[in-house]
């Protein structure tokens, strides 16, 4: 698909970590007709408001990076909004895009859509083959319904609606709130504040043995733009690096980069989550895209960004 630079591109969630990275990636390539609305300007859970927005703006392309997100604690604590609000957001966007006859719709999901004990690495065809990880099944179910909605539209209407499933994302503008953040930014903040507190001990959840894959958000943004500019034959593609590390290895790397010299304690009474989540990224690689930012480089860049913006977190009680 050849995308002309003047096409009107709507990024849902343009102020979030992923949406902001996509906007930067588009601007680097010369796209200028990019639109976005904050949640205060447009409540994506409100179907009438979303339909009115599409009727007025008439976007050519829609990139859906809008979602209610969080880690194990947030998913466990707020199952209903993680299920319902995500379904409301994506359903309104998908349906309005179909009715408005947009040229291309890209739905961004998460690797948590795959079964808890699926074979590794995770292939796209493993979707719905067995049960989900209980600690984030609410979010996963919402995202699965979005993938299937886009697949149904492709099947019934022949529209160019596709889904990209990224592995664990991190980078600038990440969420560093310890109650709602994912593992990498939570670790970074914990180690930083412990270092500031005289290298105090840091306690982390679980055993440290689960394995996780991490993708820099700028790589995810580049993958999204690549998918936008291409015409794909299928509806679902994994996005990742194809390599993973143990949570303990991640913790030691972040600890070293932050410069924390205190003790590291693992609280085995807390859940580990899925034992392993490595993505099979061969399908997207076959189309000509692969990640470029290695984990250490990405974490160093993210920590530099955190230090430049750490004032916003100082008043939040741990």
Range of the domain at 86: 9-174+213-243+278-293
**What pLDDT is attached to residue 284?**
97
3 known member of a binding site: no
Q: Is residue 39 in some structural domain?
A: yes
- pLDDT computed for residue 133 by the predictor: 87
Residue 139 annotated in active site: yes
- Edge-first strand order for the sheet with 160-166 is 34-35, 9-12, 61-64, 104-108, 160-166, 236-239
Q: Does any domain span residue 257?
A: no
Q: How far from the centroid of its chain's Cα atoms is residue 280's Cα?
A: 17
Was 187 annotated as part of a binding site?
no
Tens of pLDDT, residues 49-60:
999 999 999 999
Q: How many domains does the chain have?
A: 1
pLDDT digits (tens, 9 = 90+) for 179-207: 777 889 999 999 999 999 999 999 998 99
190 marked as part of a ligand binding site: yes
Q: Are strands 34-35 and 9-12 parallel, antiparallel or unpaired?
A: parallel
To the question of whether residue 269 is assigned a binding role by annotation, the answer is no
Task: Output the pLDDT for position 318.
Answer: 33
Q: How many CB atoms lie within 10 A of CB 50?
A: 23
54 is a domain residue:
yes
Answer for the pair 264, 251: CB distance below 8 angstroms, yes or no. yes
Consult the annotation and say whether 18 binds a ligand.
Answer: yes
In a domain, 271, yes or no: no
Whether residue 112 is contained in a domain is answered as yes
- 154 among annotated binding-site residues: no
What share of the chain has pLDDT > 70, as a percent? 96
The residue annotated as part of the active site, out of 114, 139, 170, 237, is 139
Residue 156 token pair: 């019934």
38 assigned binding-site residue: no
Dist. CA 145–CA 124, nearest whole Å: 15
Residue 316 within a domain: no
- In this prediction the pTM is 0.92
Interior/surface letters 172-183, b for 16+ CB within 10 angstroms, e for the rest:
bbbbbebebbbb
What CATH number is given to the structural domain containing 234?
A: 3.40.50.720
Q: Provide the pLDDT for residue 135.
A: 83
Asked if residue 42 is part of any domain, the answer here is: yes
Q: Is residue 82 a part of any domain in this protein?
A: yes
Task: Report whether pLDDT(316) > 70.
Answer: no
């Amino acid at each position: 698909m050849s995308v002309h630079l003047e096409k009107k591109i709507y990024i849902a969630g343009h102020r979030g970590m992923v949406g902001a990275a996509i906007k930067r990636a588009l601007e680097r390539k010369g796209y200028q007709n990019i639109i976005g609305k904050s949640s205060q300007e447009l409540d994506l859970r409100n179907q009438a408001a979303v339909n009115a927005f599409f009727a007025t703006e008439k976007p050519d392309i829609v990139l859906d990076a809008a979602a209610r997100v969080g880690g194990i604690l947030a998913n466990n604590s707020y199952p209903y909004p993680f299920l319902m609000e995500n379904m409301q957001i994506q359903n309104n966007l998908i349906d309005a895009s179909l009715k408005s006859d947009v040229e291309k719709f890209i739905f961004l999901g998460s690797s948590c859509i795959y079964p808890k004990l699926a074979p590794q690495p995770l292939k796209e065809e493993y979707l719905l083959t067995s049960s989900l990880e209980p600690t984030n099944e609410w979010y996963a179910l919402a995202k699965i319904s979005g993938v299937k909605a886009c697949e149904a539209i492709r099947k019934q209407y022949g529209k160019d609606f596709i889904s990209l499933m990224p592995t664990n994302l991190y980078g600038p503008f990440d969420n560093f709130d310890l109650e709602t953040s994912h593992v990498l930014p939570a670790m970074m903040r914990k180690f930083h504040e412990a270092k500031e507190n005289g290298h105090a001990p840091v306690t982390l959840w679980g055993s440290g043995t689960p394995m996780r894959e991490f993708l820099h958000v700028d790589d995810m943004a580049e993958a999204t733009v690549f998918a936008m500019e291409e015409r794909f034959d299928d509806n679902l593609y994994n996005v990742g690096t194809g390599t993973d590390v143990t949570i303990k290895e991640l913790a030691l790397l972040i600890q070293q980069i932050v410069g924390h010299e205190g003790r590291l304690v693992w609280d085995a009474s807390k859940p580990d989550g899925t034992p392993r989540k490595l993505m099979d990224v061969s399908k997207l690689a076959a189309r000509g895209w692969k990640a470029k930012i290695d984990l250490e480089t990405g974490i160093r860049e993210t920590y530099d960004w955190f230090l430049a913006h750490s004032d916003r977190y100082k008043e939040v009680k741990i």
